DNA sequence: GCCCTGTCATACCCGGCGGGTATCACCGAA
DNA sequence: TTCGGTGATACCCGCCGGGTATGACAGGGC
């Protein structure tokens, strides 16, 4: 009566994202007519218009926008429930809820901290097995939300901690990473404005939630590619200090004085009850 | 494949809470055999044992515990999606997502602050309609989670803000509320230890998440009952200072020096995108 | 020891509904 | 005008969710 079936949510989200019944149906692996009907039934059940089908395409109504956000959260929660339950499956120790934790980490970020954390936790007597799940740029949020991960290392202000519990682990400044031979590499400090306005050396751009910000610089896919482009003198970037651990000889670094500090947090879904997770958090905050 | 149907969640939660297939089926308004079968199918689909059916009753496995927590969150999210979408339904202003907000408030708490907030917000040019939803003691969390409310006033450390975004609005000390004639009413200050150990005047107990803490004092249902019992000299309590706004002539108050301060927050689900909500939060923090 | 009771599982049947195919109605562009 | 592309409608079918009847099994009372 007042709860939505996940099938309805899946269908609506597909249509709301594609804004096209045919493509949405294809994505769902079904035919278009039953999808149309399902959406109509959903609208009738809710007593609300979700989509406006006008000439040439489909658009979301206000209520449709709401359902797009809320529905995504609900669907993530449902798949998270399935995944976490499955993961807790093998371990049937009474009381304990699973002896394996999945930790999502941005690839090549906070490497030293991660190493220390894993070592310290593994030394605990009742340590669970930790699976490190490398993730893309801002993917940890999503992974925590849909249950692919149980806990994550996240970096404010890049990642949003909204909706998670978290503890601060480390705070560091940022540095500009330049080609070794560049004139500015001789400077003792730089400002964001200076780094962003180097003639012939545009700032690298990497995706935030799947989209690249506008600008002249190259679009970065992974850290290796970024390192190479900098070494070749094609781009420049601003990174947390801990990036020094993966720099090449062909790189130079200069502190950026007015860049906001990068704060590494350990974050987890707020309703978590696992003892293994509690142990990991305790270890992390005690470092 | 890797997502649970809300029907499955409803069924499992009913069984997990009742720990009895027959009663769970009755609560769900269905017969017992199909429920048994549905749970078996769920276990097979997940590849995980959720319940141990031994002689005389049912118990949760570790994985079952996990699904109990995660599933409740997922089901709440699904019903929240339905409710909020329905609520946004009437208002179909392009871009805007609904022009009505439901604000959950603990009955008779922070009355002055609430009055100021409502007045200030109503004075805004683009103010949405605010529906004030009175809630029980720790019910606001649940209401925000399952979509009955869009935003809430919550009181740390009584309510848990975990999983919500929030802003601090007010911080206040606590006072002991005593019968007017009581000897201790003449004191200038009291400590928690003193209030908790008054001969013949036990501390009132009110429910935290549905259960009453143990103790000799009376179990309180609502504020009026509490006020009456105090006036009659049957109990005593410690309350935030703002409780003064609803006290009777037969009550006396004494500051409690070592009670933790009570912090009133405005809290909302972290993924909210509504402009009306943003306006209310701006108004609240600007008070 | 018996039977009886309470519990969950099994067996079987049926109706509804979710999904498929074929087709229509509509609009915009050539 | 016609044609391509869109979503909606019509109709059919098979599956599965739900019901009833019954079984299996373990305790507790007499």
Which chain A residues touch B70 with a CB distance below 8 Å? Answer: 77, 80-81, 84-85, 147, 271
* A275 has a chain B CB within 8 A of its CB: no
Please tell me the least confidently modeled range out of A48-62, B90-104, B268-282.
B90-104
Measured CA to CA, the distance from residue B190 to residue B178 in angstroms comes to 11
The alpha carbon of residue B104 is apart from the nearest alpha carbon of chain A, in Å, by: 19
Q: How far is CA A28 from CA A9, A14, A31, A284, in A?
A: 12, 7, 9, 41
- Mean pLDDT across B23-37: 93
Average pLDDT over residues B172-196: 93
Judged against a pLDDT cut of 90, whether residue B54 lies above it is answered with no
For residues B177 and B243, give the distance between their C-alpha atoms in angstroms, rounded to a whole number.
9
Among A residues 161-190, those touching chain B with beta carbons less than 8 Å apart: 162-165
- Chain B partners of A69 at a C-beta cutoff of 8 Å? 271, 273
CA–C1' nearest nucleotide, residue A38: C18
Class of residue B127 by CB neighbours under 10 A (exposed 0-12, middle 13-18, buried 19+): middle
Cis preceding linkage at B148, omega within 30: no
CB spacing of B89 vs A47 below 8 angstroms = yes
Q: For residue A59, what are the β-bridge partners?
A: A52
Q: Calculate what percentage of chain B has a pLDDT beyond 90.
A: 68
Residue B147, Ramachandran bin (φ over 0: left; ψ between -120 and 50: alpha; else beta):
left
pLDDT for the residue A95: 40
What integer pLDDT is reported at residue B255 of this predicted model?
Answer: 95
Which pLDDT band, with edges at 50, 70 and 90, does B91 fall under?
A: very low
Report the share of chain B in percent with pLDDT over 70: 95
CB A128 within 8 A of CB A233: no
- Owner of token pair 């927050």: B265
Distance CA A286, CA A279 (A): 11
Residues B267, B156 contacting (CB under 8 angstroms): no
pLDDT tens-digit readout, B153-176: 999 888 999 999 999 999 999 999
CA–CA dist A40, B178 (Å, integer): 60
Tell me whether domains B100-169+263-285 and B174-260 share a fold. yes
Cα dist from A56 to A24, A214, B94, whole Å: 16, 29, 18
Query: Is 80 exceeded by the pLDDT of residue B1?
Result: no
Q: What's the mean pLDDT in A15-30?
A: 92
Report pLDDT for A174. Answer: 95
Q: Is the pLDDT of residue A252 over 50?
A: yes
Beta bridge mates, B69: none
Least confident range from A159-173, A174-188, B26-40, B203-217: namely B203-217
Contacting residues for B50 by C-beta, under 8 A, at least 6 apart:
A85, B12, B16, B39, B42, B43, B60, B61, B63, B64, B67
CATH of domain B174-260: 3.40.190.10
Please give the Cα distance from B160 to B152 (Å, whole number). Answer: 12
> Residue A266 and residue A260: Cα distance in Å, rounded?
19
The per-residue pLDDT of chain A, averaged, comes to 89
Nearest residue to B203 (alpha-carbon basis) of B170, B173, B239:
B239
CA of B52 to C1' of D29 (A): 27
The mean pLDDT value for B202-215 works out to 86
Average pLDDT along chain B:
89
| Cα distance between residue B180 and residue B185, in whole Å | 7
User: Quick check: A87 pLDDT over 60?
Assistant: yes
CATH 3.30.300, applies to A174-256 = no
Name the residue with tokens 């090449």.
A248
Mean pLDDT, residues A73-88: 94
Provide the pLDDT confidence category of residue B93 given band limits of 50, 70 and 90: very low
Q: What are the structural domain ranges in chain A?
A: 6-87, 100-168+263-285, 174-256
pLDDT at position A90 is 66
B8 vs A2: CA distance, rounded Å: 15
Tell me how far apart the alpha carbons of residues A85 and A103 are, in angstroms, rounded to a whole number: 16
pLDDT at B122 over 70: yes
CA distance A7 to B260: 47
Fold of A100-168+263-285: D-Maltodextrin-Binding Protein; domain 2 (3.40.190)
Least confident of A21-30, A31-40, A101-110, A166-175: A101-110
Lookup result for tokens 């079952």:
B64
Does the pLDDT of residue B245 top 80, yes or no?
yes
Please judge whether B89 and A46 are an interchain contact, meaning their C-beta atoms are less than 8 angstroms apart: yes
**A218-247 pLDDT, tens per residue?**
888 888 888 899 999 999 999 999 888 888
Q: Does A4 touch chain B (CB under 8 A)?
A: yes
- What whole-number distance in Å separates Cα of residue A25 and Cα of residue A8? 13
Percent with pLDDT over 90 in chain A: 67
Summarize the confidence of residues A148-164 as an average pLDDT: 93
* CATH, range A6-87: 1.10.10.10
Find residue A170's DSSP bridge partners. A264
pLDDT of residue A225: 86
Q: Return the top range by mean pLDDT from A204-213, B91-100, B277-286.
A: B277-286
pLDDT of residue A100: 87
- pLDDT band per the 50, 70, 90 thresholds, residue B203: very high
Write the CB contacts of B27 (distance below 8 Å, at least 6 apart in sequence): B14, B18
At residue A169, the pLDDT reads 95
CA neighbours closer than 13 Å in the CB half-sphere of residue A140: 31
Q: Decide if pLDDT at B36 tops 70.
A: yes
Q: How far is the C-alpha of A283 from the C-alpha of A270, rounded, in Å?
A: 18
For the segment A14-29, the average pLDDT, to the nearest whole number, is 92
Assigned superfamily of B100-169+263-285:
Periplasmic binding protein-like II (3.40.190.10)
Q: A165: which chain B residues are within 8 Å (Cβ-Cβ)?
A: 162-163
Nucleotides of C under 7 A from a protein CB: 7-11, 18-23, 27-28
């Amino acid at each position: 009566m007042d709860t939505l079936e996940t099938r309805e949510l899946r269908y609506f989200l597909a249509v709301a994202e594609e804004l096209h019944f045919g493509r949405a149906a294809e994505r769902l692996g079904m035919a278009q007519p039953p999808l149309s009907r399902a959406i109509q039934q959903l609208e009738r059940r809710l007593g609300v218009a979700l989509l406006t089908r006008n000439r040439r395409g489909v658009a979301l109504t206000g209520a449709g926008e709401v359902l797009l956000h809320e529905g995504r959260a609900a669907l993530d929660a449902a798949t998270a429930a399935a995944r976490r339950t499955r993961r807790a499956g093998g371990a049937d120790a009474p009381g304990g809820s699973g002896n394996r934790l999945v930790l999502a980490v941005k690839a090549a970020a906070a490497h030293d901290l991660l190493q220390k954390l894993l070592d310290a936790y593994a030394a605990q007597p009742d340590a669970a097995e930790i699976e490190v799940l490398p993730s893309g740029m801002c993917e940890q949020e999503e992974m925590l939300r849909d249950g692919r991960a149980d806990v994550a290392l996240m970096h404010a202000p890049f990642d949003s901690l909204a909706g998670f519990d978290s503890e601060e682990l480390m705070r560091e400044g940022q540095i500009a990473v330049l080609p070794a031979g560049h004139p500015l590499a001789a400077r003792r400090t730089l400002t964001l404005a200076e780094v962003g306005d180097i003639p012939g050396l545009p700032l690298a751009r990497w995706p935030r939630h799947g989209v690249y910000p506008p600008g002249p610089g190259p679009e970065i896919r992974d850290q290796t590619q970024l390192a190479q482009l900098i070494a070749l003198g094609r781009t420049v970037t601003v990174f947390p200090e801990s990036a020094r651990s993966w720099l090449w000889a062909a790189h130079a670094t200069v502190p950026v004085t007015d860049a906001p500090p990068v704060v590494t947090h350990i974050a987890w879904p707020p309703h978590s009850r696992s003892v293994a997770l509690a142990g990991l958090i305790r270890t992390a905050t005690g470092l």
